[in-house]
Chains A and B, each alone.
Chain A
Amino acid sequence: MIRHVFRLIWNRKRTNFLMMIEIFVSFLVLFAVVGLAVYTADNWRRPLGFSIERLWTITIDMKQTGDDSFTEGQQETVRQLLLALADFREVEKTAGTMGAPYQFGSWNSGYQWHGRRIEFGVAEVTDDFKDVLGLEIVEGRWFNRDDDGQNYDAVVINQDMRQDLFGDGQALGQNIANDRSPDDTEAVREKRVVGVIAAYREDGEFDGERNYVLYRKTMVGTADRRNRPPRNLLVKVAPGTGAAFEERLIKRLQAVAPEWSFEVSTLASMRDTSIRFALIPLAAVGLVAGFLMLMVALGLLGVLWQNVTQRTREMGLRRAKGAAKVDVQRQILGEIAVMTSLALLAGVLVAIQFPLLDIIYFVEPHVYAIGLAISVSAIYLLTLACAWYPSRMATRVEPAEALRYE
């Protein structure tokens, strides 16, 4: 039966080849979009690790570009700002951080560690950060005064990174520093893991970064590249604090640092923006892909319809020789199923090159597999649905009528 179907397809190879190309290209388009959607959905369901309730962030613009020339004066001013904030009775807790949750622009790092490449998101935070955001410690401890003046840098990592680097082994006290410094000029300073947190996904629900490393920011000592003043101040406000407080807050900060600019946002509104920015492009791409699929579906329907009308005699002959309606229908559907399978085989072979060649290393295998499975089934569904009406049409051929043409 299968061999027979193959022969039938081969006999009309030109038309069928074009159809297979169309199915092949449709699959690639669909897979790209579905893969993106699955990746987004998979990120969405992972735990965030912090709560944004009553949190505001104050972004400081120090009126300078570049990251490497900070002064101790700037550090002092930031300390003053934090003190000024603590004076307000509307303010419950404050913390300083390099990047705030949901803020655009993320900071990632990667290097060779124990002979393998590790990639991670980076956060630089003050000691109060854990309480302000409500991070959960699952192993070891959070930063504290014990980390002052040591000959190593204390770091806290997230659970995913702990799994990735140490598996079930010991994580606390381990060094996660680079094997060697980028230009070999200086010795690499030890980065000692002092604690593990459940999670902290800085870019929010759509943050694709698995691993996170948190560095400690003290705001004392020299303001070099490693110890620069924080760009964002996080503020936990008292319940019921509204936008009216914002103006007073800004005035006060402006008085402390007249040369700088400040921007206050609630994390709730930043979350809205971040979600919109992630979903609008996805929706636009999805819409375009949806229309493309509709177009392909209509096109296939048209082509198959045409094929069946052309093969009226063949169908008639089969019916005259005693084939049941079901057999004729099965033949048409079988043909399209085989063609779809061939096209998908080629499509899947192309699609799995991406993870094999490590081009999109950040996508987990299971996400990839789910995307692949959904796309494959969707294409089967699409082609079989398109073939359904033409195959019904083929069964309606009256043998006598069809044979008369000869």
Chain B
Amino acid sequence: MLKNYLKLAWKVLLRRKFFTFISLFGIAFTLVVLTLVTALLDHVVAAYPPETQHARTVGIYFAELRGEHSRRNGLAGYALLDKYARNLPNVERMGVATMASGVFSYVNGQRLKSYLKRTDGTYWQILDFKFLEGGPYSDADVADHRMVAVINDATRQRFFGGQPALGRTIEADGQRFTVVGVVPDVPILRMVPFSDIWVPHTTAKSDSYTREYVGDFMGILLLADPGRIALTRDELWSRLRTVKPDDRAFERLSATPETMFDFLGRMFAAGGRGEGGGYGRRLELVLALAACLFMLLPAVNLINLNTSRIMERASEIGVRKAFGASSSTLVGQFVVENLVLTLSGAALGFLGAALLLQVINGSGLIPYAQLQLNHRIFGWGVVLAVVFGLLSGVYPAWRMSRLHPVLALKGVSR
């Protein structure tokens, strides 16, 4: 039965090539845009090396100080992580790292801009970097304030012309570091592993960061059992409730261990607070809504085209109805036909998206971008295409199925 539908669908598509082209163009274009957005989002939140432990990793990213009149939020401060987030239950390891920030170096009268991240030694045990040269620095190195650095491949290229960099020194933000390791480039979209240069956090010019509750650090927690994250979260919350901020404008400090996606949701939600959860769920809803809104115009367009093509097939419908096909059978048939159409459009859209991603990678618009399609994005693409196919196919199919057999057989509108 399905085979017959598919055969029919194929014949119909070939019958009026211009119409088929218009439909495919609309579908493919819609899915190119949606696939691009999905691919970008996937590269921000999903597991890519060196985050091989991604499924077990959560972060303490967002922190908030709140008082009656004022509120300050941002990334977590070092003091919050060091004093209150160590030895939480269900946590195997915690690493800390700053957000990568821009620093300048002067090499032979030339200015080079790089990103620098300050971390502890555990950071390197949680993230699975494949070292091209040397290795990471350890917690002991961090405790000793050693001026050592790990750099990425691009930085090695820029500073040392691609020559081995081990043991050579690199100057950044007026400080000199000895290179102990070289790692491959990580795209800027990956907030936790991305940087050009990594150095021990204790090499910071001033130790004022060690007293901050809200600052520019993130805690990276490797959970023993990700299913029991509530245990970790509740303990952190109860510890933070005991904090009395020195600054009298604020009464309480809050932060939550969460996935990157939840964090994005929290940043996105206006007035997102330090405590509480479910922001990821909310973001999912917003994204789904946005996708549907974006599909609205293409869908109306396709509905229009589909309905106006009904009449072309009036006699076919008439014959089938006269021989006893029920409305629901007909609806089923036309929905399947439309799904075939949308899925072929989606396949084209995928090719287009793959090409566009290559262009984006090559343009340098996103530093070190390695955007590609993968099975996850493909899966989402298929889901989106099916939603789109149903959205644009059901109404025309329903209209078709309601044609009166006698009129249809006569070919009312030829």
Contact = CB atoms under 8 A, between A and B. Distances in A.
B18 interface: yes
A259 B25 CA distance: 58
A69 B18 CA distance: 68
A312 to B, nearest CB: 7
B205 A261 contact: yes
Interface stretch (B3-11, B207-215, B378-386): B207-215
A68 B147 CA distance: 32
Interface residues of B, number: 49
Nearest to B65: A66
Contact of A183 (B69, B296, B301): B69
A295 B304 contact: no
B297 A296 contact: yes
Interface stretch (B101-109, B181-189, B219-227, B331-339): B101-109
Given A254-B174, A263-B102, A310-B311, A64 B208 contact: yes
B36 to A, nearest CB: 10
B206 A295 contact: no
Interface in B340-366: 365
Interface string B361-403: 0000100000000000000000000000000000000010000
A110 interface: no
Given A26-B297, A63-B204, A299 B304 contact: yes
Nearest to B246: A69
A301 B72 CA distance: 55
B38 interface: no
Interface stretch (A17-25, A131-139, A213-221, A353-361): A17-25
B2 to A, nearest CB: 28
A51 interface: no
Contacts of A264: 104
Given A22-B301, A65-B74, A65-B212, A295 B308 contact: no
Contacts of A243: 109-111
B413 interface: yes
Contacts of B303: 18
A300 B309 CA distance: 13
Nearest to A67: B72
B69 A182 contact: yes
A333 B249 CA distance: 68
A18 B300 CA distance: 7
A311 to B, nearest CB: 8
A8 to B, nearest CB: 15
Contacts of B205: 63, 258-261
Contact of B308 (A260, A280, A302): A302
B77 interface: yes
Q: Which of A14, A21, A280, A303 has the most CB of B within 10 A?
A: A303
A29 interface: yes
Q: Which of B204, B205, B304 has the most CB of A within 10 A?
A: B304
A122 to B, nearest CB: 18
Interface residues of A, number: 48
Contacts of A48: none
A306 B103 contact: no
Interface stretch (A38-46, A192-200, A244-252, A367-375): A244-252
B414 A295 contact: no
Given A69-B247, A303-B304, A295 B212 contact: no
Interface in A252-295: 254, 258-261, 263-264, 280, 288, 291-292, 295
Q: Which of A63, A300, A302, A313 has the most CB of B within 10 A?
A: A302
Interface in B65-97: 69, 72, 74, 77
Nearest to A258: B205
B33 interface: yes
A236 B311 CA distance: 74
Interface string B300-324: 1111110111011000000000000
B392 to A, nearest CB: 11
A25 B299 CA distance: 11
Contacts of B305: 299, 302-303
B109 A244 contact: yes
A15 interface: yes
B106 A247 contact: yes
B304 A25 contact: no
Contact of A405 (B204, B296, B298, B414): B414
A26 B26 CA distance: 14
Contacts of B230: none
Contacts of A182: 69
B413 A310 contact: yes
Nearest to A29: B297
B300 to A, nearest CB: 5
B26 A299 contact: yes
B144 interface: no
B96 to A, nearest CB: 16
A307 interface: yes
Contact of A295 (B19, B247, B298): B298
Contacts of B174: 250-251, 254, 261
Nearest to B69: A183
A298 interface: yes
Contacts of B206: 63, 259-260
Interface in A157-198: 182-183
B77 A65 contact: yes
Interface string A52-63: 000000000001
Contact of A66 (B19, B214, B298): B214
A387 to B, nearest CB: 14
B258 interface: no
B22 interface: yes
Given A291-B29, A310-B311, A63 B208 contact: yes
Contacts of A65: 72, 74, 77, 212, 214-216
B25 A15 contact: no
Contacts of A298: 22, 25-26
Interface string A370-386: 00000000000000000
Given A22-B301, A292-B298, 10 more contacts: A14-B307, A14-B399, A25-B297, A26-B297, A65-B212, A68-B249, A260-B206, A263-B104, A280-B365, A302-B305
27 contacts: A15-B304, A18-B303, A29-B297, A63-B204, A63-B206, A64-B208, A65-B77, A66-B247, A68-B249, A183-B69, A243-B110, A243-B111, A254-B174, A258-B205, A259-B205, A259-B206, A288-B33, A292-B297, A292-B298, A295-B297, A298-B25, A299-B22, A299-B26, A302-B308, A303-B308, A306-B309, A312-B414
Interface of A: 14-15, 18-19, 21-22, 25-26, 29, 63-66, 68-69, 182-183, 243-244, 246-247, 250-251, 254, 258-261, 263-264, 280, 288, 291-292, 295-296, 298-303, 306-307, 310, 312-313, 405
Which 7 pairs show the lowest CB-CB distances between chains A and B?
Answer: A299-B301, A306-B308, A259-B206, A247-B106, A295-B26, A298-B22, A310-B413
